Chains A and B, each alone.
Chain A
Amino acid sequence: MDGENRIEHRFEIKGGDFGNAGNVSTKIKDILKEIGIPPSIIRRVAIATYEAEMNVVMYAYHGILNFTLTPECIEIIVNDKGPGIEDIELAMQEGYSTATEEMREMGFGAGMGLPNIKKNSDEFEITSEVNKGTKLRIVIYLNKKQ
């Protein structure tokens, strides 16, 4: 197996676009389903991607989601331009949220997003720069159960 077996997709996510929020994750889920990836893995990818996508919609101005599927794993990298996160450790705590009323009306902002992404990932990295943006790297293995 080599580089020929990679599938890559690039998606744009618009900040504040609640109407389309979730559409990228839905597309990724459909792609994985069509390829025949096991449902339990699809679910973890879909949940992690959906949370990451919602974060861009809710907090950032713009984001790019790069999706790569190899024979070993699925890698999702989300790069956004936005306010960034000042205290990542705090943001990773369950229940901590800076969500607005509008976000809560959409059913989000419970402070579960980042912890839930981590829970569903085999590898998870987050880096952020205040007033610049945040980068997430999520890896889910195809052949190894957690």
Chain B
Amino acid sequence: MNRKIKKMTLREIKELLKCEVITGNDNLDLEVLSGGGCDLMSDVLAFGKPGMLLLTGLTNAQSVKTADIVDIKAIIYVRGKKPDKEGIELAKKKGIPLLSTKHMMFEACGILYSAGLPSVNETEKND
């Protein structure tokens, strides 16, 4: 499949997925290099890459802790979910924007993929 891939700003992603910004409204010009959808943090630790966007349905603070460890740029919670209070506090401290979309995981990933956001697999190794 021929697809033009490109980095995207959180602002573009927010528009595409009609996201609500939970925290990080001042940081919407941040660029994400790639995307991945996953509820299993063990897998995120295994395949995650710096600068990626994580789409997840896991709402506890572990999602933010894992993102920080892997240098994930931002998190989008799918299906209208919101992270817990601890997660939001930690994200504010670490400067990781958190957004929420009403789309389900499959739709959200599909929309971003079609718009050209590369999968973590498509990007060069960043280290």
A residues sitting closer than 8 Å to B (CB atoms) are 18-19, 21-23, 25-26, 29, 39-40, 43, 46-47, 50-51, 105-113, 116, 119
Contacts and interface: CB of A to CB of B under 8 A. Distances in A.
A18 B87 CA distance: 13
A110 B42 contact: yes
B31 interface: no
15 contacts: A21-B62, A21-B65, A26-B68, A29-B68, A29-B69, A43-B69, A43-B70, A50-B66, A51-B45, A107-B63, A108-B62, A112-B45, A113-B42, A116-B42, A116-B46
A110 B62 contact: no
Q: How large is the interface on B (under 10, 10 to 19, 20 to 34, 35 or more residues)?
A: 20 to 34
Interface of B: 39-46, 50, 58, 60-63, 65-66, 68-71, 86, 126-127
Nearest to B44: A107
A100 to B, nearest CB: 14
A19 B69 CA distance: 16
- CB-CB nearest 4 A-B residue pairs: A40-B127, A107-B41, A110-B42, A22-B65
B96 to A, nearest CB: 12
Contacts of A116: 42, 45-46
Contacts, number: 71
B91 to A, nearest CB: 12
Contact of B60 (A29, A51, A107): A107
A46 B68 CA distance: 9
Nearest to A41: B127
B77 to A, nearest CB: 13
Contacts of B69: 22, 25-26, 29, 43, 46-47, 50
Nearest to A104: B40
B2 to A, nearest CB: 32
A106 B62 contact: yes
B127 A107 contact: no
Given A39-B71, A40-B126, A116-B42, 16 more contacts: A22-B69, A25-B69, A29-B68, A39-B50, A39-B127, A40-B127, A43-B70, A46-B69, A47-B45, A50-B69, A107-B41, A107-B44, A111-B42, A112-B45, A116-B45, A119-B46
